[in-house]
Amino acid sequence: MGLFDKFRKPSRPEALDVSAPAGTVLAPVAGDVITLENVPDPVFSSGVMGRGCGIEPTGEVVYAPVAGMLSAIGAPNYHAVGIIGDDGAEILIHVGVDTVEMRGDGFTVFGEKGVHVRAGEPLLSFSKKR
């Protein structure tokens, strides 16, 4: 690793060749699915944020689980992505527990608010080591 390598932004991963028919939400990251009740954050596990599941990630890239408009991404919430699907579904992808305090450290955002994405496009990457 060279002196300036830590300042270099990671390259954007390739998009996945997937599609999500209306009413279908794909897994946004590779990993093991857990029930919402087993997510170790009461805001989510209580269901107050809506229906969903947790994923214990094996990968470090979050992909769009549906086609739609990015409603929230980037500063100050690098750890979360909001998407309004083409079918009207509102989707929140929240990466990690207590990641708000990280203030973006370990996250790289590839999308922009207001941009339309296709299912399978990379949205952000994160470091599981942090």
Hey, which residues are catalytic here? 94
Q: Residue 46: CA atoms inside 13 Å, Cβ hemisphere, count?
A: 5
DSSP 70-103: EEE-STT-TTEEEEEETTS-EEEEE-SSS-GGGT
DSSP 13-64: PPPP-----TT----SSSEEEEEGGGSS-HHHHTSTT-S-EEEEESSSEEE-
Phi-psi region of 79 (alpha: psi -120 to 50; beta: other; left: phi over 0): alpha
